[in-house]
Structure 1
Amino acid sequence: MSVLHYRRSRSERRYRRSGSQHHHRRGGSGRRPRAPRSLAFLAGSLAAGMLLTACGGSTDSGSAGSGDGEGDIGPGIAAPKDLKPFEFGRPAGEKPDLPKRIAWANTSDAEFFLQITNSIELAAKERGLEFVTAIANDDSAKNIEQIETFLQRGVGALCIQPLDANAQAPLMQRAIESGAAVMSLVTPPSTVQAVADQYKVGQAQGLAAAKYITEELDGKAKVVYFNNDTIEVLKARHQGVLDGLRTAGAGVEIVADVQPPAITQEGGFKALSTVLQKEPDIDVVLGGDTHVLGALSALESAKAVKPHMYLSGIDGDEQALAEVGEKGIYRASFAFAYPLMGYAWAQFAADWLEGKPVPQVMQFNAIELNSPETIAAYKADMKDVATTWKNAETYFTLLGSVDYEHRDQYINDAA
Structure 2
Amino acid sequence: MNRMAKSRHGVANYVVGTALVASLAGAVLTGCSDTRATSAATPDQNSATGHPSSMLAPYNPDLPAGTKPDLPKRIGIPGDFNVPVSVELATQMRASAESRGLTFTEAIANGDLVSFRSQAESMLTQGLGGWWVYAGYNSDDIEKQSRDKGIFTFGLESGVQSQMADDLYALGQDMATAAVKWADKSIHGQGEVVILAPPTTSPAVVQYKQGMKDVLAKHPGLHIVSEEQTPKSGGDAADTMATLLQAHPNINIVLGHSASIGPALSAFESLGRGNDPKVFMAANEVDSGLLAKIGHSIFRAGFANPWPLYGYAYGQYTADWLEGKSVPKLLTLANGRSLLLDTPAEARKYIADMKDAKSTWNDVKKRDSYIKAWGNVSYDTRSDYWHQALLSLHGVVPNR
The two structures have a TM-score, normalised by structure 1, of 0.72
1:194 is the counterpart of 2:194: no
1:170 is the counterpart of 2:141: yes
1:404 to 367, 379, 384: 379
1:124 to 78, 97, 101: 97
1:266 CA drift (Å): 4.5
Residue in structure 2 matched with residue 43 of structure 1 by the alignment:
27
**Inter-partner Cα distance in structure 2 for 1:197 and 1:220:** 28
1:210 is the counterpart of 2:180: yes
2:70 to 76, 98, 107: 98
**Structure 1 range deviating more: 188-197 or 101-110:** 101-110
Q: Could you tell me which amino acid in structure 1 is paired with residue 17 of structure 2?
A: L
Distance 1:371 1:264, change over 3 A: farther
**Inter-partner Cα distance in structure 1 for 2:108 and 2:190:** 48
For 1:13-412, what aligned pairs fall within 5 Å after superposition?
37-40=15-18, 41=22, 42-43=26-27, 47-49=32-34, 77-78=49-50, 83-99=55-71, 101-108=73-80, 110=82, 112-127=85-100, 129-138=101-110, 140-155=113-128, 157-162=129-134, 165-166=137-138, 168-184=139-155, 186-228=156-198, 230-232=200-202, 233-246=204-217, 249-260=218-229, 262-276=231-245, 279-299=248-268, 306-326=276-296, 328-364=297-333, 365-389=337-361, 390=364, 391-412=366-387
Runs of 4+ in 1 over 6 A off after TM superposition: none
**Inter-partner Cα distance in structure 2 for 1:344 and 1:307:** 39
Q: Could you tell me which amino acid in structure 2 is paired with residue 244 of structure 1?
A: V
Q: Could you tell me which amino acid in structure 2 is paired with residue 402 of structure 1?
A: V
1:355 CA drift (Å): 3.2
1:191 CA drift (Å): 1.0
Q: Could you tell me which amino acid in structure 2 is paired with residue 262 of structure 1?
A: P
Instruction: Please say if residues 47 and 197 of structure 1, whose CA atoms lie closer than 8 Å, have aligned partners that are also in contact.
Output: no
Q: Could you tell me which amino acid in structure 1 is paired with residue 180 of structure 2?
A: A
Instruction: Please say if residues 103 and 132 of structure 1, whose CA atoms lie closer than 8 Å, have aligned partners that are also in contact.
Output: yes
1:35 CA drift (Å): 11
Distance 1:357 1:314, change over 3 A: same
Instruction: Please say if residues 191 and 410 of structure 1, whose CA atoms lie closer than 8 Å, have aligned partners that are also in contact.
Output: yes
Q: Which runs of 5+ in 1 are unaligned?
A: 1-33, 52-59, 63-75
Listed one character per residue, the Cα deviations across residues 205-235 of structure 1 (whole Å, up to 9, x for unaligned) are 1121122223344443332323336242211
Q: Could you tell me which amino acid in structure 2 is paired with residue 354 of structure 1?
A: E
What percentage of aligned pairs have identical amino acids? 24
> How many positions carry a matched residue from both structures?
353
Instruction: Please say if residues 131 and 151 of structure 2, whose CA atoms lie closer than 8 Å, have aligned partners that are also in contact.
Output: no
1:345 CA drift (Å): 0.8
Listed one character per residue, the Cα deviations across residues 291-335 of structure 1 (whole Å, up to 9, x for unaligned) are 334444444556677423222222314553343252x32212223
Distance 1:348 1:83, change over 3 A: farther
**Inter-partner Cα distance in structure 2 for 1:153 and 1:235:** 38
Distance 1:141 1:132, change over 3 A: farther
The two structures have a TM-score, normalised by structure 2, of 0.74
Listed one character per residue, the Cα deviations across residues 329-387 of structure 1 (whole Å, up to 9, x for unaligned) are 22122232222112111221222233332222223552323232222111111111122
Give the superposed CA RMSD: 3.6
Instruction: Please say if residues 283 and 310 of structure 1, whose CA atoms lie closer than 8 Å, have aligned partners that are also in contact.
Output: yes
**Inter-partner Cα distance in structure 1 for 2:330 and 2:208:** 19
Distance 1:83 1:386, change over 3 A: farther
Instruction: Please say if residues 105 and 158 of structure 1, whose CA atoms lie closer than 8 Å, have aligned partners that are also in contact.
Output: no
